[in-house]
Chains A and B, each alone.
Chain A
Amino acid sequence: MSAIGRSLKRLEDRPLLTGDGCFAADNRADGQVHMRIVRSPIAFGRILDIETDEAKALPGVIAVWTAADIADLPPIDFRMTRIAGLEPYRQHVLARDYVRYVGDPVAVVFADNPYIAEDAAELVFCDIEEETPCLDATADPVAFMPERDPALLSEAAVITKSYGDMEAAFAGAAAIIEMELKVGRHTGVPLETRGALAVRDPETGVLTMYGAAKVPHYNRDSIARMLGLEPEQVRLSEGHVGGGFGIRGELYPEDVLVCAAACRLGVPVKWVEDRREHLMAANHSRDQVHRIKAAVDANGFVRGLVDTFYTDQGGYVRTHGGTVSDLAAALLPGPYLIPAYHVEGHIRLTNKTPSGTYRAPGRYETTFVRERLMDAIAARLGLDPMEVRRVNLIPEDRMPFDRGIEALGTHVLYDSGKYHDLLDRTLTRIGYQDLKADLARRRVAGEAVGLGIAFFVEKSGLGPHDLVTMAVQPDDTIEIVTGAASVGQGVETAMAQICSDVLGVPIERIRVIHGQTDRIAIGFGAFASRVTVMTGSAVKIAAEALRDKAIALAAPLLQADVRTLTLEMGCVVSRDSGATIGLAEIVAQSGKDLDAEGLFRADHMNYPYGIHVAQVRVDEAVSGIQVERYLVAYDVGRAINPMLIEGQIVGAAAQGIGGALLEEFIYNEEGQPLATSFADYLMPTCHEMPPVEVLLREDAPSPQNPLGVKGAGEGGITAVGAAIAAAVDDALGRPGLITSLPISPRRLHALLRR
């Protein structure tokens, strides 16, 4: 039986369930010192002086650094989407001249224990000349650091993408619809905060950073470059990771500081972030305002779409460069034909925490925008919202569909999709007509209940390539080494299933090593729903090479022709004689290594797609919203392990509900963050979660990889804001009411009173 497509239990879970996990804070080294960051209490201002004498005098303090002490360190560079003009907005590891958000690191303390470190951090005095913070990305750009460079403004870049004849589209329009739509500032919040331990081996000079995540190879190269070391002098090691979601594992100032300190102080340096820091220091995300204008015909077909949007980038541009805005601009059209499109995305710096990617970056925001538009078209023209989508969806016979623009430097080419078919299946699954009738009856009885449906296209499998090595071990296990990373998504299990599918070895005999830069030369890590597509394909290629090699080595041992040999259940079998030989036995008898490499290249991303359905009940008297039912339909081309995918989808849907209803980084007019603990930054709990149904489909395999797979990590979150907004409109009988997320009770109350 094929190992692919089965809901096998996770190989990863035993240590996690038995308390044997090793997370960042579990790492320790003899003689380690503890690092504490002194963070700016001011949103924007010029640094006049930083007083460290009192902190340095505290017994147990080893060192206190300000920017002057590490003046040789360059700013943290971009990992992705390097757009011209972004360089001056990069963040130094400690603030120079200006602080640009509350939480901006201004000094760092090293001490014998974390208590003394925190005591000392309190004694560091920052003399900052306050300036008026910029907190609105739609306002006119202002000076980034007025004294240092008055001409450098807070608009870092404008991303423009365009195709089609817009003039003609608008000239013949039956209606023109304009809207302003906003998605609030929230982010992924891993339950494990960030943390790191850096140790430099005095003998070899090799610097090891434990607690790496997401992109260890890339960060190794960056850290080496920043510290003036060779890449082979730096080693990054990933342990267990308590959630990633795009924000965890990027290269942050703190990672560079622990490494620099381990080198310069000559002792191991440990840092564990606390939650308050995390909520003001780790990447925020979303926070976009879109102003769209659509020309539609009488059937609701969008002839042309113009969008101007503003991304609130926060204080600096971090490792993601222009990624979020670029993806938003490229993927806003989603599953629809839209023959003419023009978008202008403004990346604007403000005095909030810097922002980066968060699960479905650019797609959560633009799916809200695009699907709100579809609902608005239906309302304006008096059409059924599902019919409006049907006339706009890209038909199956237009696949592969060339969008004619680029995303992340790759051509946007939708590889496969049966959009109409999935819509029909979804409506059948929920019993659309009956459900609508049922909700109408409940509304007549006085309940405010409603249904919202939103379509989306995801993207996955970002290249350029991925490498794995695979080798049979003496104990008859198979070791796979990959430069991918695990942020908890089940990499080991999925890779083992793909390998098992080729070799017939049970997954329990396959070990997957990931996130160790000293074990494999290259690695791209885990982001952009790329691991199953890229690493998985490389595993398949390697396993097939290993199979061929095993057969070739076995042939003389079994005295058989290779053409008569097959690999079954981890043994080479002769069809003629019935003789068999196991993989480890082949190694032992042939005296040769049984290993292989798999390299997979991809020039294009692929494009999974899906539909979210939300049913909500609004308690108007308290402005409360309860999600009664939720369904995610998602076509991933081919499901390696349906249980893992469903887990990904349900978890992502929970995060989406957080962003739609609860989670928001609110700032006051001085730029002080007001949601810096879990008492005010509200994530959904099991009490707020409805049951989430998953309709997992494999109708449109990707032709771009040997497995046919598409990524499954993000589709559970993409359309949540859009679907819930539509459901709230429907419940209240007020089309177009919701134009902004999150729909907090306070905001809903203001709308209902209006």
Chain B
Amino acid sequence: MKPASFDYIRPGSRAEILAALAAHGDDGKILAGGQSLVAAMNFRLARPEVLIDINGTKDLDYLQPSGDSLAIGALTRHAAFHKPVVDGPLGPLLAKVVRNIAHYPIRQRGTFTGSLAHADPASEWCLVATTLDAEMLIVNAEGERRCRAGDFFKGTFTTAVGAQDLLAEVRLPLLDDGWRSGFYEFSRRAGDFALAMSLAALKLENGRITEARLGVGGVADRAIRLHALENELAGKAPSRELFEDVAASAKAAIKPSEDIHASADYRRDLIRTVVLRALTEAAA
């Protein structure tokens, strides 16, 4: 469990990071929190020639509400979200979710955008980004581009971030006061990868759902936002029957993955339960 040989550089600025990425291309790899990358290197599943450590670039560590969104920098650690980071419903939502990410020491080191760039199918932040339709800022030496979560995730460990790109910032929409959220995850032990999880956000006005966001993670090659079911929820009063119907539809809509911890059949039933529990919590 010793990594293969690699070079290590520690740029001091964003410009230097981008220059290093441009110079090393496919051979380079960004080191942010390293909580997935370093383990993969020790198993020799990842063999970057050059590690580009961005931890020296402190101005990438920020959380900035701006306009109608929260901007999250490339070095913002999971632990930054332990307490609500913004006023309104988004802060508590993130604080609720972050407790499910691995364990306390890992959360001190791992980063929000690193999770997104890594794109593990069972990543909580990928589910959050997908469900809330985050906006990604991808930069390289040539320039920058923005992309929405729906176009960002391409599959297991695969995203729109190219070999010379840095995922520099992620923006989550600030939710106004009418929104409420629910999150439910089932994993084998506390801190383990989700066998299934769901995030639900409901905007309630006068006892009716006016808008809904519903996503499921840990069950396929990427988190899934259930647009059709969001539409089914909109305009209706929250009720046990409605949520049961939506949960059953979610179960029918997804073809789940299999692994040693969960068969497809089991995951289908889990999808129903996690969606039901997330919705119920959101409406409670």
Contact = CB atoms under 8 A, between A and B. Distances in A.
Contacts of B3: 115
A456 B204 CA distance: 57
A679 B190 contact: no
A684 B44 CA distance: 27
B190 A687 contact: yes
Given A624-B186, A662-B188, A687-B189, A745 B266 contact: yes
B4 interface: yes
Interface stretch (B51-59, B142-150, B256-264): B256-264
Interface in A106-137: 114-115, 118-119, 122
Interface string A722-754: 000000000000000000000011100110010
Interface in B1-46: 1-5, 43-44
Nearest first, the 7 closest Cβ-Cβ pairs linking A and B are A687-B190, A274-B1, A621-B273, A749-B266, A622-B186, A115-B2, A118-B2
Give the interface residue-count category, chain B.
Answer: 20 to 34
Nearest to B263: A746
A674 B5 CA distance: 27
B78 to A, nearest CB: 18
A559 interface: no
A143 interface: no
B262 A745 contact: yes
Interface in A675-719: 675, 677, 679-680, 682, 684-685, 687-688
Most buried by B among A688, A746, A749: A746
Nearest to A748: B266
A120 to B, nearest CB: 12
A666 B266 CA distance: 18
B118 to A, nearest CB: 14
A745 B195 CA distance: 10
A744 B261 contact: yes
Nearest to B195: A745
Contacts of B205: none
A299 interface: no
Interface size class of A (residues with CB under 8 A): 20 to 34
A441 interface: no
B190 A622 contact: no
B270 interface: yes
Interface of A: 114-115, 118-119, 122, 274-276, 621-624, 662, 666, 674-675, 677, 679-680, 682, 684-685, 687-688, 744-746, 749-750, 753
Contacts of B266: 623, 745-746, 749-750
7 contacts: A115-B2, A622-B273, A666-B260, A685-B189, A688-B190, A746-B262, A746-B266
B190 A685 contact: yes
B245 interface: no
Interface string B220-258: 000000000000000000000000000000000000000
B100 to A, nearest CB: 12
Contacts of A753: 265, 269
A687 to B, nearest CB: 4
Nearest to A621: B273
B5 A115 contact: yes
Contacts of A621: 269, 273, 276
Nearest to A276: B1
A750 B191 CA distance: 24
B5 A119 contact: yes
B263 A750 contact: yes
Contacts of B176: none
A682 B192 contact: yes
B1 A685 contact: no
Contacts of A682: 188-189, 192
A114 B263 contact: no
Given A685-B191, A750-B266, 10 more contacts: A118-B1, A118-B44, A662-B189, A675-B260, A679-B192, A679-B193, A688-B190, A744-B261, A745-B262, A745-B266
Q: Which of B186, B188, B190 has the most CB of A within 10 A?
A: B188
